[in-house]
Structure 1
Amino acid sequence: MRTWLMAGAAMGFGLAAGSVQAQGTDSAQLEEIVVTGSRISRPELTSSSPVAVVSNEDIRLSGNVNVEQILNEMPQVVPGLTSTSNNPGNGTASVDLRGLGPQRTLVLVNGRRFVPSSQGGVVDINNIPASLVQRVEVVTGGASAVYGSDAVAGVVNFILRDDFEGAEVNAQYGITQEGDGEDYDVSATLGGNFAEGRGNAVVFANYYKRKAVFQGEREFSAFALQDDEDASGRAILSRGGSSSVLGTRLFGPLTLPNGATSSTGVGFDTAGNPSPFRIPTDLYNFAPVNYLQVPQERWALTGMARYEIAEAAELYVEANFINNQVPQQLAPSPLAEDIQVNLDNPFLSAATRQILATNFDEDGDGIADITVGRRLAELGPRISNDEYNAYRVLSGVRGDLPFGWNYDAYYSYGRVKRENRLENDAALSRIQQALFAVAGPGGTVTCQDPSGGCVPLNIFGAGNISQEAADFIRVGATNSTTIEEQVAAASISGDLFELPAGGLGVALGAEWRKEKSAFTPDEFLASGDVVGFNAGEPTAGSFTVKELFGEVLVPILSDLPFVKDLSFEGGLRYSDYSTVGSVWTYKAGGEWSPTDDIRIRGLYQRAVRAPNVLELFSGPSQDFPAYTDPCDAGQGPAGAVADLCVAQGIPRTQLGIFEQANSQVEARLSGNPDLNEEKSDTYTIGAVLTPTFIDDLSITVDYFNIKVKDAVGQFGGGAGNIVSLCFQSLDINSPFCQAFTRDQSGNIDIVDTPNANNASLKTQGLDIQANYALPLDGFTLLEGDTALRFGFLGTYLFDYKFQSGPGLDEIQCAGFTGSPCPGPGGAVTGTGTPEWKHVLSTTLETGPLSMRVQWRFIGSMKDARISTGTPREDVPVPKVGAVNYFDLGFQFMASENLTFVGGVDNLLDRSPPTLGDAQVQANTDPSLYDVLGRRFFVGVTAKF
């Protein structure tokens, strides 16, 4: 019998109760499964935590062959890294429940931990092929008492098909309306029973390929947009870009050969002649060569088997291997550094030589000390190729014991090896060596220091770097990361004894886990002798945890007037970490059903998250977040702010003239082995309505409140916040002012942002779900029964608040997008969190044909800077309107052995809103909004 997971057809979102109903004429029949969120089996399949379910059929109808795409459409999920995550991005895909960070969402496969793909403990859900998934169960809210660390925001449990007989081949193809962004997915499954049905084995193979789409191939992302103002001072969006330009920029103010002053500095033509730099006309448009959709190629092989060796003992094994390759591409390396040039350099024109001598050779030694902005386009675009090889093996034994008890014990080992190959970067040391050029014999130009095959470098003018010079300064890097996870666990559950209202259910268990990882960077990356990619130092470490846990389900009353059912549940887990020591997590709640039509439920959970290897042990690394310098002339520094600018090294004569060179600043991130565990408290209370007088109708409403304290984040909330907090303190000796320095041009050089337990996150809101099946008796398009099925899932946020440190302002992010609101992981990346999101789906099922229309709604949002005091009129896009997407899908069973699927996503070809400085990348938020436009997909499943 086919199982329908109470989904409202399209998205497969199940009842918050976790109910599972059988589709067909006997829709009230229940199929017994264990619902994620508890280890105690419940024949009535209810849960005190909100649970949503996505089925394999719904994944097929959506056309999504990577699971993160369909999960990110759920209102409870704030999109993390996806197929559109190029910068920021790391070649993985993540899921982020409630926007609390992917490291606070625990990912399970068949109820067990899956090996993470990053040192931050985040599982790459690209490693879980959608066609192998039977269903996905999503539990929102803390679940550490049941599953241990990391389940702060909730749990995503992927249930794989493990009982298959026969052979099946799936193939799917998708393409956008523009004729690009193609993806191909082919999988084969072979399985069967053996030993007279006592055993079953399944082998699954999958190949997936996705092609790239560049930002230059969509109108909204073809030019880098920035906040600006028109002649009247009105805030607008304008074409902008980077001050690291094709032909080099020297930053102003500068005295020109004619005696005039250029506040914006100078640029250079192809002949090397200087002219005043024009903003924004001469800025470099870095957007077109960046990926809008990153390409991907994945091979996956999975094997599962089980064999009943005795009546009470079934052996089972799982084995997974995944090869996943995801490149990223950025604009050519920017050279934005302090460098030196000898004034007798033969590449210099007379005018350039005079500018350098007048403005940059104060000691008259014939060496100009300059800060340049130069795009090294002659080296080609920066390419980061990530290849992940992941494997996991698991073996265990489970079985039923007398008196209705059962047990499960297993051991798993997982390992991920990531090779990150960087191309077309440049070594700063080689650049400096090649810039000291002198005239050689016969009109040639040579390096003062010819060692290492040095080739003279001419950076003054676009295209003036020779191929030989480009090859000399070009460097690549190969960085490797190894991650290992071991888990040994055992549990037993059953009814301890009978009470008048039913059996008192308990579950007891123990678990041991070890996480170990090491990052080994290339020597260039580790030394910081690179200009295009972020430098990073080695990171290695490990931790272990030993745990004991227990749950109890106590039926208190049943089958009484106004008490159809009353029960209590509780859970307790003791964890002993080698890093943070002993911690306790627990839960308590219950359910009350006054009648068959309504069930009231509530739950409190204390959850923890121990810091991961990256947070504890990471060596210093680079990041380049956006920031605003209060000393910039456009900010109008005056009074105590101006005094602080002067104290930091900016001459008072430059106040009102000085302009920050770039919109990004270098941040130096590092681990902290003294971190403590994060703590969270989750409260949920809700109602489940299943009116007996309306068949196949269910409505659930759940209130959630989650608070995370001592959250691990960057000191001060990140580089941009540190600069802002420094100028709020107006004290050069404050820890925020001491966290950064300025270079000789007055620009902020490096901001130190080590990890600290100084942040907090709070979110509260309502989840609303409704599912209804309407039989259409007498209406038949094709042979068989006909019905309409409706599914609705919406989330309304009352609050989503972020505090970057004790005593700092708490920022309201519900209904806002952009910095300073946190993105995935708590980083200030500006991911949008609308107050209201929903998915409404309607499916017509008539015999072998299912046709679905889905409406995805993303509510309006304001620029987050408004929530922190920026006047609305100073923001070019103060509000982003609501966005609606409509998708169509169909499934047709031509025979028992042949099924076709197809559809159109983003039917109305809705373009994403442009966000200016509130963007994540590509002038918008590409993980939240659809950036590819209308997309078509077709697929076929053949069974043999």
Structure 2
Amino acid sequence: MLSGVPMLAIPISAAAQDIAAPQASAIEAAPAENQEITVTGTRISGFTAPTPVTTLGAADLEAKAVSTVADLLDDVPQLRINQNIGRSSEPIGASNADLRGLGTQRTLVLIDGRRVAFTDPAGTIDTNIIPVALISNVEIVTGGASAAYGSDAVAGVVNFMLNKNLKGLKLDVSYGQTIYDDFHRPSVSAAYGTSLMDSRLHLTVAGDYLRNSGQTSQAERPWGDDQTALLTNPAYTPTNGQPRLIISDNARFTQMTAGGVITRTNLNPNASGTALAQRLGFAPGTGVQFDSNGNPVPFTYGTNIGGTFMTGGDGAQVTDGGNIMPEIERFTGYGGLRFDISDNVTFFTDFLYSRVDTLSDLTPNPDNGGLTIRADNAFLAASMRNAMTAAGITSFSLGRMNYDDGDSLFESRTQARRLTFGLEGKFGTGWTWSLSGQISRNDYEQLSHNNRINNRWTLGLDSVINPATGQPICRALLTNPSPTAAQDPFGDIRNCVPINPFGAGSVSDQALAYYRGTSFTRSRQKQDVFAANLSGSPFSTWAGDVKLAVGAEYRREATSLRADADSAARRWRSVNSQPFSGEFDVKEAYAEIVVPLARNVPFAENLDVNGAFRYTDYELSGGVETWKVGANYAPAADVRFRATLSRDIRAPNNWELFSRGNQVINAIIDPRTNTSRQTVQITSGNPELRPEKADTFTAGVVFQPSFLPGFRASVDYYRIKIKGAIATVAPQSIVDFCEQGRTEFCSGVIRDPVTQIITQVNVIPFNADSLKTSGVDVELQYRFPLLGGDLNLRALANHVSELSTTSNGVTNDYVGLAGISPPPQGIPEWRVNLDANYAIDKFKLGATYRYIDGGKFDTRFNTTVLDIADNTVKGRGYVDLSASYELTSAIELYGRAENLFNVRPPITPNGITQPTIANSQFFDRRGTFLVIGGRLRL
């Protein structure tokens, strides 16, 4: 949590989406001395909105020694920062703001009250593009946000306010690293502002640079070097009392080695690894693998033998190499100008440029027992061929972890360009107006190095001896030496190079050049926004001024994605981005009003009501209305009650509507056999999607007793229900539902017509039935003088009562889901933060204790059958310390230690080939992290 200075916070409520995340209530606290913070939560100034808001100031950034926005927000209970540590086809290293865990696409991100364009084609925003050097404060608004702030704010709003009136120079230099010395983070940020022409012209420039040097693997941690994986239990039946799944250390691949291994089961039992091992004279129960010379040798099986993993044995393993975080290099530049044309009119413009480069590696291209090897293969050892001939076997299946290919490297670059311009002014008595335009052009690129063209891999593996030369040749080239363009559109046959799969390092450089390459995805996200706003007080009531804000906005969103020709033809093993383009415009008009009803009367210290209405016209789906009504009631000066009721909306973005297929490869457990296999999963857009609608209710009380100065408390209840939410059913659930007799899901499950193995699962988004969440946010804060200094104590807690989705008549509850986290991801039932911050003279000291509740590995487990032996996940507590010292009035030195006692995360592996062993993003995986730095102010 934030330390060193008090944080101004007001409890938060959320709008809705797939799921809600833990939310902590916050309270209104006085800002630290000389720290100016403006809390709005509304388009109307000078008014305390009934909508809960949390605000973080510039001092909070300094106290936490942040170098990215994610550093600032990842401890805020209202938000979950989702950082992709390295999964194919996803933006590597991106940090997306996710209010209450409702989904990143339902959190509206603003800079100075203006929208931020999507930074990737999937319609999310990487907060790394925000210039940390210039942030003055961050407003986090939930509950009734769409009517006041605009469409798409279903979960709420995160508004980054930049310091446009900076005078002088700010410089911050820091260095951080883990105690394991495997992750280093140098960071520099600077900002400068000056006024000219008798202060009519103000110029501001700023820049940030950061580098997370080096990827950090699980094997570098004591908890990550046990080769832990999630296994299917081959002994399981629904009635024998054994668990369906097992979490096991020393997990090895059942049918993958560096040199290749014959699969244990086969359509022809005589062609299985165990049957051929007996033909070769190996010990009973062993299989057949190939040594470095390509000769067959025994393969020893372990226990708990499943389709992908087993415990022990001779199989390969890549678990240790799973990433905790990727390599990131980030640069952000900003320039702004404000010019007072007259006393009442100001022209403004600014330009933001950001570039974020990331790199992550994944497992080499694996083949989990799916390679067909014929008896006349050119590279097959004579002893193996003889054994096959004696058994009358014409082919067998081979599995291989293809280390020859090298690691799969995913490199991405995000570039954001944002120009804003406009006029703002004032007239009459307190009336203000603004006209603004904003043009954003954001580019995203991902390169997938060492990818594999599947057709070339298959053709090269099917080799024979050329009778004319006595040398290996591809069978396809021997039978069709001059293929036509129609037969061979990509030149796969004409250029075919035989591939030797037997033995580690057996693949030649010529073969690698033939089938291995780099695929790419390049997209541009365009956003143009033009807006007009007017606010003021048209008249007064007996209790004070009625305040009004009205405005209109036009926005155009466009996304275009390009990919290489092989991707477009789905020829690569992974990613295979499909080109598409889509665009739409949105027209909006809103009005917000505050009406005071009572002030300083016997029954009410204060009573006011707040309402807002917005009409939004989507080009593709028509008009939608959003609204909010709220009230503040203070019967006495010490107590204030508040409540809001709102309708919020979000329309599908271009990706959800028009994308032609996003491919990932993850484990799917086949209920028919209880075996796990790595399976292609493709998610496509759905042009029939409609806007989703959320109903949000919040009610709370703020208590600030006059008899105990410095003490404040708040309690807020929230309840959210979203109807027609844009959602997808998890691929595993699609398979399970199909096998449970729900035939509407079976069209998405593709099986091999011969083997009946699941080869692909298709997923499309749809408007779900409902999503619900409810909970309570609590905060206690007490600030008082102590020993010549100032001590601030705070306790913040969030309890989630319900977090459920209902789709096709099936309801799932995700409160307490802390393990494999299928979409939507679950959240802890409890989160508690305890802060103690002490300031005296030139010193500031801070201590934080953060508790994150555990829960269940999967909340859907152990309901009707025994899915896993122990479905519980224990919670974790973390201690952070910070300190700073003002060396001079211009120079400050600081340090921070996060996760001081190096608390390990719970072991909750997911089911991919290279499992993320600690899969929940709520728990720290980095370990103790130390930061030192200095600040200069001139």
1:280-315 residue CA offsets vs partner (Å, 9 max, x unmatched): 224432223332211111111101221111122111
For 2:692 and 2:373, locate their aligned partners in 1 and report how far apart those are by CA, in whole Å. Answer: 50
Q: Give the 5 Å matches for 1:397-476.
A: 397-440=423-466, 444-448=471-475, 449=477, 453-476=495-518
The residue type equivalent to 1:12 in the other structure is M
Contact conserved, 2:133 with 2:207, CA < 8 A, in 1?
no
Q: Give the 5 Å matches for 1:690-839.
A: 690-714=704-728, 717-729=729-741, 734-743=743-752, 744-758=754-768, 760-776=770-786, 779-780=787-788, 786-803=789-806, 805-808=807-810, 810-819=811-820, 822=822, 827-828=823-824, 831-839=825-833
Query: Corresponding residue for 1:33?
Result: 38
Contact conserved, 2:418 with 2:441, CA < 8 A, in 1?
yes
1:597-637 residue CA offsets vs partner (Å, 9 max, x unmatched): 010000011001000000000002322344321111xx4xx
> Is 886-895 or 742-751 further displaced after alignment?
742-751
Change (3 A) 1:357 1:764: farther
How large is the RMSD of aligned CA atoms in angstroms? 2.8
> Is 832-841 or 384-393 further displaced after alignment?
832-841
What is the TM-score with the length of structure 1 in the denominator?
Answer: 0.88
1:39 positional shift:
0.3
Query: Corresponding residue for 1:226?
Result: 230
SS of structure 2 residue aligned to 1:909: coil
Query: Corresponding residue for 1:520?
Result: 562
Indicate yes or no: 2:345 matched with 1:343: no
The residue type equivalent to 1:736 in the other structure is F
Contact conserved, 2:5 with 2:32, CA < 8 A, in 1?
no
SS of structure 1 residue aligned to 2:456: helix
Contact conserved, 2:144 with 2:627, CA < 8 A, in 1?
no
Query: Corresponding residue for 2:290?
Result: 268
1:826-879 residue CA offsets vs partner (Å, 9 max, x unmatched): x35xx441111022111110012111001111012112245561556x424421
Change (3 A) 1:621 1:355: farther
Contact conserved, 2:523 with 2:561, CA < 8 A, in 1?
yes
Indicate yes or no: 2:868 matched with 1:875: yes
Change (3 A) 1:328 1:276: same
For 2:706 and 2:696, locate their aligned partners in 1 and report how far apart those are by CA, in whole Å. Answer: 32
Q: Give the 5 Å matches for 1:278-357.
A: 278=301, 279=305, 280=310, 281-336=313-368, 340-350=372-382, 352-353=384-385
Contact conserved, 1:237 with 1:916, CA < 8 A, in 2?
no
1:467-504 residue CA offsets vs partner (Å, 9 max, x unmatched): 33222221111220111111111111111101110111
1:337 positional shift:
7.8
SS of structure 2 residue aligned to 1:41: coil
Change (3 A) 1:906 1:620: same
Unaligned runs of 5+ in 2: 12-25, 236-240, 482-492
Indicate yes or no: 2:610 matched with 1:583: no
Query: Corresponding residue for 1:653?
Result: none
For 2:840 and 2:110, locate their aligned partners in 1 and report how far apart those are by CA, in whole Å. Answer: 35
Q: Give the 5 Å matches for 1:125-164.
A: 125-164=127-166
Change (3 A) 1:529 1:310: same
For 1:122 and 1:432, locate their aligned partners in 2 and report how far apart those are by CA, in whole Å. Answer: 37
For 1:385 and 1:372, locate their aligned partners in 2 and report how far apart those are by CA, in whole Å. Answer: 31
For 1:104 and 1:505, locate their aligned partners in 2 and report how far apart those are by CA, in whole Å. Answer: 29
Change (3 A) 1:524 1:375: farther
1:930 positional shift:
1.1
Change (3 A) 1:445 1:609: same
Contact conserved, 2:350 with 2:420, CA < 8 A, in 1?
yes
For 1:799 and 1:100, locate their aligned partners in 2 and report how far apart those are by CA, in whole Å. Answer: 13
Contact conserved, 1:7 with 1:15, CA < 8 A, in 2?
no
SS of structure 1 residue aligned to 2:459: helix
1:236 positional shift:
4.8
1:99 positional shift:
1.1
Change (3 A) 1:34 1:64: closer
The residue type equivalent to 2:556 in the other structure is K
Query: Corresponding residue for 1:646?
Result: none
Query: Corresponding residue for 2:109?
Result: 107
1:15 positional shift:
3.0
Indicate yes or no: 2:847 matched with 1:847: no
1:182 positional shift:
0.4
Query: Corresponding residue for 1:555?
Result: 596
Indicate yes or no: 2:180 matched with 1:178: yes
Indicate yes or no: 2:81 matched with 1:59: no
Contact conserved, 2:132 with 2:189, CA < 8 A, in 1?
no
Contact conserved, 1:18 with 1:46, CA < 8 A, in 2?
no
Indicate yes or no: 2:689 matched with 1:675: yes
Change (3 A) 1:566 1:858: same
Query: Corresponding residue for 1:81?
Result: 83
For 1:515 and 1:705, locate their aligned partners in 2 and report how far apart those are by CA, in whole Å. Answer: 31
Query: Corresponding residue for 1:884?
Result: 877
Question: Aligned match of 2:889 in 889, 896, 900?
Answer: 896
Change (3 A) 1:679 1:262: farther
Query: Corresponding residue for 2:936?
Result: 942
Indicate yes or no: 2:530 matched with 1:488: yes
Change (3 A) 1:462 1:83: closer
The residue type equivalent to 2:660 in the other structure is G
Query: Corresponding residue for 2:553?
Result: 511
The residue type equivalent to 1:684 in the other structure is T
For 2:761 and 2:87, locate their aligned partners in 1 and report how far apart those are by CA, in whole Å. Answer: 25
The residue type equivalent to 1:593 in the other structure is A
For 1:40 and 1:691, locate their aligned partners in 2 and report how far apart those are by CA, in whole Å. Answer: 28
Contact conserved, 1:229 with 1:236, CA < 8 A, in 2?
no
SS of structure 2 residue aligned to 1:403: coil
Contact conserved, 1:591 with 1:601, CA < 8 A, in 2?
yes
Query: Corresponding residue for 2:484?
Result: none
Contact conserved, 2:627 with 2:646, CA < 8 A, in 1?
yes
1:534 positional shift:
2.3
For 2:389 and 2:56, locate their aligned partners in 1 and report how far apart those are by CA, in whole Å. Answer: 68
1:375 positional shift:
1.9
Indicate yes or no: 2:606 matched with 1:565: yes
Change (3 A) 1:900 1:385: same
What is the TM-score with the length of structure 2 in the denominator?
Answer: 0.88
Query: Corresponding residue for 2:486?
Result: none
Change (3 A) 1:447 1:83: closer
Query: Corresponding residue for 2:249?
Result: 238
For 1:609 and 1:801, locate their aligned partners in 2 and report how far apart those are by CA, in whole Å. Answer: 19
For 2:326 and 2:746, locate their aligned partners in 1 and report how far apart those are by CA, in whole Å. Answer: 38
1:353 positional shift:
3.4
> Is 304-313 or 246-255 further displaced after alignment?
246-255
Query: Corresponding residue for 1:15?
Result: 10
Query: Corresponding residue for 1:644?
Result: none
Query: Corresponding residue for 1:863?
Result: 857
1:87 positional shift:
9.0
The residue type equivalent to 1:787 in the other structure is D
Contact conserved, 1:229 with 1:237, CA < 8 A, in 2?
no
For 2:747 and 2:151, locate their aligned partners in 1 and report how far apart those are by CA, in whole Å. Answer: 34
What count of residue pairs does the alignment treat as equivalent? 876
1:752 positional shift:
1.8
1:319 positional shift:
0.8
SS of structure 2 residue aligned to 1:925: coil
Query: Corresponding residue for 2:417?
Result: 391
SS of structure 2 residue aligned to 1:78: strand
For 2:901 and 2:720, locate their aligned partners in 1 and report how far apart those are by CA, in whole Å. Answer: 36
Contact conserved, 1:15 with 1:769, CA < 8 A, in 2?
no
> Is 316-325 or 249-258 further displaced after alignment?
249-258
The residue type equivalent to 2:138 in the other structure is V
> Is 575-584 or 454-463 further displaced after alignment?
454-463
The residue type equivalent to 1:667 in the other structure is Q
Query: Corresponding residue for 1:502?
Result: 544
Contact conserved, 1:600 with 1:687, CA < 8 A, in 2?
yes
